Structure 1
Amino acid sequence: MRPGPRKYVLFDVDGTLIDAVANQRRVWGTWAARYALDPDEVYRVALRTRPMETFATVVPDRDPGECLSALHELEDEDVRSGVYAAFDGAARLLGALPPGAWALVTSNYEHRVRGRFTRTGLPVPPVVVDAAAVTEGKPSPVPYLLAAELLGARPEDCLVVEDAPSGVQAGLRAGMTVWGVNAPAAVTGVHRHFGSLREAVPDILAFAGAEGAAAVG
């Protein structure tokens, strides 16, 4: 039998593989309106925390279970009816990676990620670490360390691909190589920066030892 892959790639989802900025803003804006909150402020908090942490910050006097139920309702409806797009290069990249060499690490929930991937035609790997899988979200290293453990990988053999500061910090704290994508300027701490995911495709495949890496761009 061929040995398993020695290098692994751990992807953030929203903002890295899936362009969901407009969807996230719309969902959180609608949610904020229900609680008479400033949608811009709520979205700013939501970008860097998990939902339960967001509620504790913006509506500390409300029942978090009720808040989460309302958010889930809006998010599920958005998965069913919203318009999503994968970033250019995502389908080719994920399709070319060796099986068992990559995982998704998201602050969202797995069933919504699967819904979005179905809508955009992206493959879903066996390992998906979502908000329900961990007690600490990004920028804690816990989500990325769990993904490495589930893949049977050492942190130093993992590449994290991220677009957001909290995710970059999570990867760095996990002791992994971190590359930034889909941002006009490099996020502080990244080892390499690419203006788009498409630009990074050949190098990501080369890191993972994928055949034909140089031909994919």
Structure 2
Amino acid sequence: MTSERARPVPRKYVLFDVDGTLIDAVANQRQVWGTWAVRYGLDPDEVYRVALRTRPMETFAAVAPHQDPLECLAALHTLEDEDVRSGVYAAFDGAPELLSALPSGCWGLVTSNYEHRVRGRFARTGLPVPDVLVDAAAVEEGKPSPVPYLLAAERLGAGPEHCLVIEDAPSGVKSGLRAGMTVWGVNTPVAVEGVHRHFGSLREAVPEILAFTTGAPGDSAI
């Protein structure tokens, strides 16, 4: 009697948000938006509150509806590019160890920022850049649409059911969930609504993320 061939075990994949998940950029984002707000005579705290939950063009429409949105965007881009060159950045504790330990080809980045800024920040913090990086320019629909995470999975050759999303923000969590992926939250004092698991810090999640990449189909990731 011929034994049946063992079916190959599908690989597991990890997709990371960047700012707030791998890179601690909260102070930088607040400063950039604060400088932008002052330039337009707006309240920095109110502008930042809106910017946290919307994309830039949506932020401009909400806080500066009478301004030229393209001019607003150009001003913001100039400030952000300068911040990449001169701002102070740090990787969250555990990020270098985690990214260095992940097998090549099984992880990627999904960010609402732009690739050149991500590469600049990673270069300054010593983090490795994967082959798959989906940025704001790669998609027409950003988070919370599922499109960014689905595109990253496609580029990795992965099915959504084999992907783990690591996020810190509500819009990113919704994006991963809508893509049909497992979503874990990190770096927040309380769990973002919808996450399958919550970790107060990235460091706490490191061993669990590494274990996920070696888990067999059917293993619980929740």
Are residue 44 (structure 1) and residue 40 (structure 2) matched?
no
CA distance 1:31–1:4, change in 2 (3 Å): farther
Counterpart check, 1:93 vs 2:90? no
Paired residue secondary structure (2:103): coil
Unmatched tracts of structure 2, length 5 or more: 1-7, 216-222
**Secondary structure of residue in 2 paired with 1:94:** helix
**Are 1:157 and 2:137 an aligned pair?**
no
- CA shift for structure 1 position 4: 9.6
Residue by residue, what CA displacement relative to the aligned partner does 1:149-198 show, whole Å, maximum 9, x if unpaired? 11111011100000111111111111000000011111111101111000
Give secondary structure in 2 for the equivalent of 1:128. Answer: strand
Q: TM-score, normalised to structure 1's length?
A: 0.92
Deviations 1:81-124 (A, max 9, x none): 10000000000100010111011111111100110001100001
Distance 1:66 1:4 in 2: 51
Alpha-carbon distance, 1:65 to partner: 1.4
Output the CA distance in 1 between the equivalents of 2:26 and 2:183: 22
Q: How many residues align?
A: 208
Q: Counterparts of 2:114 and 2:55 in 1: how far apart (Å)? A: 10
58-67 or 83-92, which moves further after superposition?
Answer: 58-67
The 5-angstrom pairing of residues 1-16 of structure 1 reads 6-16=11-21
Distance 1:202 1:172 in 2: 22
Correspondence for 1:175: 180
Distance 2:210 2:172 in 1: 21
What secondary structure sits across from 2:52 in the alignment? Answer: helix
TM-score by length of 2: 0.90
Q: Does 1:62 align with 2:73?
A: no
Q: Give the match's secondary structure for 1:48.
A: coil
Are 1:148 and 2:164 matched, yes or no? no
Q: Mean alpha-carbon deviation: is it higher for 58-67 or for 119-128?
A: 58-67
Which residue number in structure 1 is paired with residue 82 of structure 2?
77
Residue identity (%) = 84
**Residue by residue, what CA displacement relative to the aligned partner does 1:43-77 show, whole Å, maximum 9, x if unpaired?**
11211222122212222222221111101110111
Q: Secondary structure at the match of 2:104?
A: coil
2:117 to 109, 112, 117: 112
Structure showing greater Rg: 2
Q: Which moves more between the two structures, 62-71 or 16-25?
A: 62-71
Structure 1 stretches (4+) deviating beyond 6 angstroms? none
User: Quick one: distance in 2 between partners of 1:56 and 1:37?
Assistant: 13
